[in-house]
Amino acid sequence: MNIGVDIDDTLSKTTDYLYDKAIAFSRNALHREPVINREEKFPRCLGWSREEVMKFFNEVFEKEVLNIPPLEEAREYLKKLKEEGYKIFIITARDSFHLTDPYEKSLKWLEKNDIPFDKLIVGSKYKSEVCQKERIDIMIDDSFHQCSYIADHLKIKVFMMASFNNNVAYKGITRVHDWQEIYHLITQNKGV
C-alpha cells in the first residue's frame, strides 16, 4: 500500500515554528502590523501580497527550513508503517518559489529528522496528479484544497491533519489530530 504524506504542518511544525518569525518580519521588514486571519493557511493568514510572501520565503524560510521541528511521533509511526510494508511517498508543494533548491532542502530536513520514506516529490502543486501517477492509496495532508480535490476526484482515502482548518468537514476526508491516530486508522482498518 502506498501512502502519500505532505511535509509542512503534516510532518513538521512549520506554521508554529515560523509564526513569530513571520510577525517580526511583518513589523521589521514590511513595517506594518500583520492582519491575522486564523481561518487561512500560513502565510495567507498574514494578509501579505505575493511579493511579500516571496520576500519572506527568500529571507526567512530559506534560512530556517532545516530548523523546523517534526511533529511528535511522525518519525516513530512512519517507521512502523515502513516496517509493516507500506511505501511512503513524501509529496510536497515546495518549489523554487519557496526554496532555491526545494528537493535538496527537503531531503536534508527528512534526513536530519530521520523521517523514513521511499520517494520524495517536490513542486507538487496538484497532488492529485502525483497520487494517480504513483498509485497512492492514502494521502495525508493539512491543506483543505488538496484534500478536497483528491477526495472528489480519486478513489483513495484522505486524512486531513487538523490545524488552521479545524471547522472544516467534508465528505471523503477523515480529520486526524496526530500520527498515532493516523497509524491506528491505517493499520486497524487497512486504510479504509
Q: What is the CATH number of the domain that holds 117?
A: 3.40.50.1000
Angstrom distance (rounded) from CA 128 to CA 139: 9
Instruction: Tell whether 51 and 132 lie within a shared domain.
Output: no
Instruction: Tell whether 26 and 97 lie within a shared domain.
Output: no
In which domain, by residue range, is 46 found?
15-67
Verdict on whether the full-model pTM lies above 0.95:
no
Instruction: Tell whether 115 and 156 lie within a shared domain.
Output: yes
Q: Where are the beta strands (DSSP E) in 63-156?
A: 87-91, 119-121, 138-141
Half-sphere exposure of 144 (CA within 13 A, CB side): 14
Instruction: Tell whether 32 and 89 lie within a shared domain.
Output: no
Locate 127 and state its grid cell: 497532488
- Given a contact cutoff of 8 angstroms between Cβ atoms, the answer to whether 108 and 66 are in contact is yes
Sheet containing 87-91: order of strands: 119-121, 87-91, 2-5, 138-141, 157-161, 173-176
Instruction: Tell whether 127 and 174 lie within a shared domain.
Output: yes
Q: pLDDT of 123-165, one tens digit each?
A: 999 999 999 999 999 999 999 889 999 999 998 999 999 766 6
Instruction: Tell whether 133 and 62 lie within a shared domain.
Output: no
Angstrom distance (rounded) from CA 59 to CA 24: 12
Q: pLDDT of 160-182, one tens digit each?
A: 997 666 666 788 999 999 999 99
Instruction: Tell whether 25 and 89 lie within a shared domain.
Output: no
Q: How many angstroms separate the first and last alpha carbons of the chain?
A: 12
Q: pLDDT of 72-131, one tens digit each?
A: 899 999 999 999 999 999 999 999 888 999 999 999 999 999 999 999 999 999 999 999
Instruction: Tell whether 105 and 21 lie within a shared domain.
Output: no
- End of a domain among 43, 67, 91? 67
Instruction: Please state, as a whole number, how many other Cβ atoms lie within 10 Å of the Cβ of residue 114.
Output: 11
- Given a contact cutoff of 8 angstroms between Cβ atoms, the answer to whether 123 and 93 are in contact is yes
Angstrom distance (rounded) from CA 26 to CA 34: 6
